[in-house]
Amino acid sequence: MRTFGAALVAAMLICIGVLLSGWHVKIAVIWPWFVVAGVAAGVLGVVELVQGNAAKAVTVALGLVGLSIWFLGWVPAETPGSDVWPWGLVLGGPVLLFTTVLALRGRGGSLGLLGRWSRRSRRNGGVASRWQIWRKASKRAMRRKAATLKPSLKSLSRRARRRVPVTAYATRLVRVGLQWLWTPVEDVTLIFGGPRSGKTGHLAGLLIDAPGAAIATSTRTDLIELTAKLRERDHGPTYIFNPSGMGKLASTITFDPVFGCENPVTATYRAGDLLPGEGGSDEREHWVSQARRALATLMHAAALGELSMAEVAEWVADPDGSADEVLRLLRRSPEPMFVTAARQFLTTNDRTRSSITTTIMPALAYLTDPTAKAAATGGSFDVAELLESKATVYLLGAEEAHTAPLLAALTGHIAREARRIATESPSGRLDTAFTAVLDEAALIAPVPAPKWTADMGGRNITIHIGAQSRAQLRQRWGDNGCAAIMTNSASVLILAGARDSDDLQAYSMLTAERQVMVEQEDAGGRVTGRNPQQVPVMSPGEISHLPERHALVVRRGMPAAVGKLRMAWERRDVKALARAEARAAFAQRWSMRHEAATTWLAAVVDTLADRVEPWVARAEQWASDRKTRAGGAGVEVPAQDHAEPMVRAETVRLDVPETNAPAAPDAGAATAPAPEADPLAALDAELDARWAEAGSDDRGEGR
């Protein structure tokens, strides 16, 4: 019976039985057998689907037991054959019990664990499922360990802890599908990626998310441009230590390697930072060890005498001439063994001493570079203040090997002081994690990474190491050091672009294996069979051809996963800061242009005024002249104000004889108002009098 047909028949029979259960009483008593027939058809269909005789027997037994229990509790007693249920238990019960015992035995112990892993691997294709990511590397998984990762949260309630952001004690790595994969601050992250693979952009995002103080090494200024402003805005001040003068950025802090070397332990550590020796041959390691001992002795003497590395270089160049001074200074040391070590170095044979001084000289090569010497002169660094203020220190280095000892010395000083402060705290770890982003550390800051990755995480000192390949790690720290770093790293990210065959094979082995069914074909191309075969979850070729900005993630406690990286310039806060800076720059440019336009307009107005003013003066002069010509007298007659009262004045002509003058009125007589004189009549009278004197009778002619 085909599976689909069995399912269809089973559904029809069960439906008929359910419908008959409420119908006529004579028919209702037989409805359970329709249901039994339907269940039997369904069981037979399932038997055809499962593989293996044991699985088929278990399926049949499970159907018999289920029907027996149903008959016992729900089938009416009037149904014919309702008392057959014990036979179902007798036939199917032992089989079901036996298989249950075998299943429980198979799920226990190592065999059961491996079996579950194998089944899960086959089910998920060998990669991490959503459930595994949620259980091992999600926000919820990080919150379960919040009180351990951040000791100050122990006194808070569970609800108060949930209000604390997860970034305070965990770091977001990559996005797998719709889920983010997180890692706690106590874990080490190792990132392999070649040039232009997105390694620096990803590390910049990790630096931005660092909850507390941080240091960052880099061979480019991109890290500063992407993160400095955000770190200074959200956390604390930023400092730059740039002994190579990269990008023409001046160092804002200085660090003298002699600082703190009055302590014998510090002098020993500082000499080890200046002379890293991991990864070399046994003979080289022997001479490096001798050189560290001698350099520690000389630096201790210089610190006791308040001298500098320049004097140390002079002592190394002339051991015989400086023996008395070195021994005199070392007599102040609290550790008498330094006097013995110095005497052994100064009095040894010339050949041995020459080999030791030759090994020491690379650590002092920076003294020949004025920029590096200035960055390493007269400076100290307070790590406690750095942690308190959540500051960020950027350590820049280039391909020049003479600056690497300085960067390693400052990085080692900060990390060891942070570890000491963490050890002295009540919980044995820093409450706010200290982050070290070591991009290209193998090139510019050869710190003792194998030891740091094993110890620093438990102190809440988060280490993110960026390297180009395993070969680079082996070159700096040797095969054992490279293996130690990879073992101590809880999360290993392999970015796109890997090409070394040995590295690709090693990465492929980290992803484990999965089982696939391989089809076999005959000469005609017909499939003759399928056989299981174990293959890597990701082959070397697949790892080599990872898409851009994707990474293979191998994390402790879960299968491998492929996630997408988030570049720092794609973050919302970085974009928001860029937009704010663009708006501020636009406003500044607009203000400058507005001011320039205002100045230009004022200059144009002044120029036009200067040119128009003569024309205005000429127009005014022309109007004045025209008004003068219109008046005829050349004398401007002022306008009379008719608002004031007019006063009449009587004019007395002096050229008229007194006889013609009217008689004065009598003072006592009543006077009447004199009539108003006519000016034309007076003029005619005057002319008549003059003609009379001249003796002319013809007045009309004389006129």
Domain boundaries, the chain: 3-107, 145-152+163-237+393-402+417-519+529-570, 254-380, 572-605
Q: What is the CATH code for 145-152+163-237+393-402+417-519+529-570?
A: 3.40.50.300
State whether CATH 1.10.8 applies to domain 254-380.
Answer: yes
pLDDT at 106: 61
pLDDT at 648: 53
* The two structure tokens encoding residue 423: 């050890």
- Listing DSSP states for 353-406 in one string gives HHHHHHHHGGGGGGGG-HHHHHHTSS----HHHHHHHT-EEEEE--S-GGGHHH
N-to-C CA span, the chain: 161
Instruction: Give per-10-residue mean pLDDT for the chain (703 aa).
Output: 73 80 66 80 79 75 80 72 71 73 66 71 80 90 90 88 91 91 93 89 92 91 90 92 88 90 91 79 82 92 91 90 90 88 87 89 89 84 89 85 87 92 90 92 86 89 92 88 92 90 90 80 77 84 90 91 91 89 89 89 87 85 83 51 51 50 45 52 70 56 42
Residue 571, Cβ density class (10 Å: 0-12 exposed, 13-18 middle, ≥19 buried): middle
DSSP H helices, 548-571, are none
**Tally of CB atoms within 10 A around 384:** 11
- The torsion angles phi and psi of 461, rounded to 5 degrees, stand at -105, 100
CA angle 454, 269, 435 (to 5 degrees): 45
pLDDT at 659: 46
- The torsion angles phi and psi of 528, rounded to 5 degrees, stand at -105, -15
Rounded (10°) CA dihedral 235, 236, 237, 243 = -60
pLDDT at 128: 86
pLDDT at 621: 85
pLDDT at 380: 73
Radius of gyration of the chain (CA): 53
pLDDT at 699: 45
The candidate with the shortest Cα–Cα distance to 547, out of 562, 559, 536, 557, is 562
pLDDT at 196: 84
The candidate with the shortest Cα–Cα distance to 267, out of 304, 224, 233, is 304
Largest CA distance in the chain: 187
How far apart are alpha carbons 563 and 551 in whole angstroms? 6
pLDDT at 703: 40
Alpha-carbon 657 to chain mean position: 122
pLDDT at 320: 86
- The torsion angles phi and psi of 446, rounded to 5 degrees, stand at -75, 70
* 57 contact partners, CB below 8 Å, separation of at least 6: 95, 99
User: Can you give 254-316 as a three-state secondary structure string?
Assistant: CCCCCCCCCCHHHHHHHHHHHCCCCCCCHHHHHHHHHHHHHHHHHHHHHHHCCCCHHHHHHHH
pLDDT at 475: 87
> What proportions of the chain, in percent to the nearest 5, are helix, strand and coil?
60, 10, 30
pLDDT at 24: 59
* 147 contact partners, CB below 8 Å, separation of at least 6: 153, 154, 161
- Listing DSSP states for 588-609 in one string gives HHHHHHHHHHHHHHHHHHHHHH
Strand-pairing partners, residue 534, are: 515
Q: Is the dihedral of CA 587, 591, 593, 597 positive or negative?
A: positive
How far apart are alpha carbons 294 and 310 in whole angstroms? 16
